[in-house]
Amino acid sequence: MLWVDKYRPKTLDKVLVHQDIAENLKKLVTEQDCPHLLFYGPSGSGKKTLIMAVLRQMFGASADKVKVENKNWKIDAGTRTIDVELTTLSSTHHVELNPSNAGFQDRYVVQEIIKEMAKNRPIDTKGKKGFKVLVLNEVDKLSREAQHSLRRTMEKYSASCRLILCCNSSSKVTEAVRSRCLNMRINAPTEEEIVKVLEFIGKKEGLQLPPEFASRIAQQSNRSLRRAILSFETCRVQQYPFTNNQAIPPMDWEEYVSEIASSILKEQSPKRLFEVRGKLYELLVNCIPPDIILKRLLYELLKKLDSELKHEISHWAAYYEHRLRLGQKAIFHLEAFVAKFMSIYKGFLIETFG
């Protein structure tokens, strides 16, 4: 088992990082007056962990027994029927699903499937009416229509069902949905907190962890706890006992991007652009999301530029990322950014050095 999963806190008491939020959540659950919840924050900050812990606090150990189901739904939409395939993760008390996976048909998922699930009210062993929880991931990727349909569902079935929504950025969730939930901002853990967690794991595993090394892992992790733990485990496999100046292997795609960055800084020509295209294709083929490539590329370039150029390059990065979002083919926009950079940089070099 990976350490990330092994040391994921199972209950709200054991949470190491967001203790104040966990405390609040516990209060909510014990008062049995739990509103709809919306968790938002950057990836690797612990949203999922908190949600699982809340479920466990609500329903006890039975919330851990989950099964994966792959269901086909036939939806009657007036003149035609639509087939939607959806993977759900469910226990007896909760269902977790990812409605944005249905793409442009997400409206039907919300209107029909989620409504269907919300309607059915569970009855516990004593015959009392209980409620169930629906966990919806990536609500920020839902279309506008789907979000509008969601708000009616949230009100109508609030007696039998609680929704827990989870997303990266709350600005993409409509105001109407946000105002019906209790919003929980989950911030990324600070470097000190990451170090604390790493030390905790080190102690449990019986490892000697030099403090300097731990803080270096934390620095490289970009404030993502998941990544810090993963790279900690990688280092453990590579070399143990740890030394203070041990190299922390960077992600291979990051290395690849920094190679691209230095190659376009070295030479600006159509030939080099053609070479870079091949490299970008390779990254895309390996399923690295294009916006992450662009962001990383900007990060690498900014390190080596004069401050007046930085403004310009960051502007164009934002410009092409927006284009990328509107367009279909990622490679065009990535390449356009590289070409733009080359032209600006070359012009700058000619101006300064003649």
Partner 1 sequence: MAPVLQSSQPWVEKYRPKQVKDVAHQDEVVRVLTNTLETTNCPHMLFYGPPGTGKTTTALAITHQLFGPELYKSRVLELNASDDRGINVVRTKIKNFAAVAVGSGRQGGYPCPPYKIIILDEADSMTEDAQNALRRTMETYSKVTRFFFICNYISRIIEPLASRCAKFRFKPLTEEIMSSRILYICKEEGLHLDSEALSTLSSISQGDLRRAITYLQSAARLFGSAISSKDLISVSGVIPAEVVQALFSACKSGNFDLADKKVSNLIAEGYPVSQMLSQLYDVVVEADDMSDEQKARICKKFAEADKCLIDGADEYLQLLDVASNTMRALCNTSQEFSLGV
| Contact residues: partner 1, CB under 8 A | 24, 27-28, 31-33, 35, 40-42, 45, 58-60, 93, 122, 124-126, 128-132, 148-149, 151-152, 159, 169-172, 178-179, 182-183, 185-188, 222-223, 291, 294-295, 298, 302, 307-308, 310-312, 314-315, 317-319, 321-322, 325-326, 340, 343-344, 347-348
SS3 208: coil
| Distance of closest approach, residue 16 Cβ to partner 1, in angstroms | 18
SS3 78: coil
| Distance of closest approach, residue 211 Cβ to partner 1, in angstroms | 22
Considering beta carbons, is residue 87 or 183 the nearer one to partner 1?
Answer: 183
Q: How many residues belong to the chain?
A: 354
Give Cβ neighbours of residue 156 (< 8 Å, ≥ 6 apart). Answer: 118
Strand order in the sheet with 80-90: 67-77, 80-90, 94-97, 132-137, 161-167, 37-40, 182-185
Interatomic CA distance for residues 22 and 324, integer angstroms: 38
Which stretches does DSSP call E strand in the chain?
37-40, 67-77, 80-90, 94-97, 132-137, 161-167, 182-185
CA nearest neighbour of 170 among 39, 35, 289, 325: 39
Considering beta carbons, is residue 58 or 209 the nearer one to partner 1?
Answer: 58
Interatomic CA distance for residues 134 and 94, integer angstroms: 6
Considering beta carbons, is residue 272 or 340 the nearer one to partner 1?
Answer: 340
| Distance of closest approach, residue 316 Cβ to partner 1, in angstroms | 9
CA nearest neighbour of 56 among 5, 9, 88: 9
Considering beta carbons, is residue 19 or 87 the nearer one to partner 1?
Answer: 19
Considering beta carbons, is residue 28 or 207 the nearer one to partner 1?
Answer: 28
| Distance of closest approach, residue 337 Cβ to partner 1, in angstroms | 11
The answer to whether 106 touches 140, Cβ cutoff 8 Å, is no
SS3 72: strand
Q: Which amino acid is at 240?
A: Y
CA nearest neighbour of 83 among 103, 53, 63, 61: 103
| Distance of closest approach, residue 351 Cβ to partner 1, in angstroms | 8
C-alpha angle 139-141-284 in degrees, rounded to nearest 5: 135
Considering beta carbons, is residue 191 or 205 the nearer one to partner 1?
Answer: 191
| Distance of closest approach, residue 204 Cβ to partner 1, in angstroms | 27
Strands 37-40, 182-185: pairing is parallel
| Distance of closest approach, residue 43 Cβ to partner 1, in angstroms | 10
Considering beta carbons, is residue 234 or 343 the nearer one to partner 1?
Answer: 343
Considering beta carbons, is residue 31 or 252 the nearer one to partner 1?
Answer: 31
Largest CA distance in the chain: 86
| Distance of closest approach, residue 213 Cβ to partner 1, in angstroms | 22
Considering beta carbons, is residue 119 or 311 the nearer one to partner 1?
Answer: 311
Considering beta carbons, is residue 280 or 297 the nearer one to partner 1?
Answer: 297
Q: At 255, list the tokens.
A: 């290395």
Q: At 272, list the tokens.
A: 């080099």
| Distance of closest approach, residue 187 Cβ to partner 1, in angstroms | 4
| Distance of closest approach, residue 70 Cβ to partner 1, in angstroms | 26
Strands 161-167, 132-137: pairing is parallel
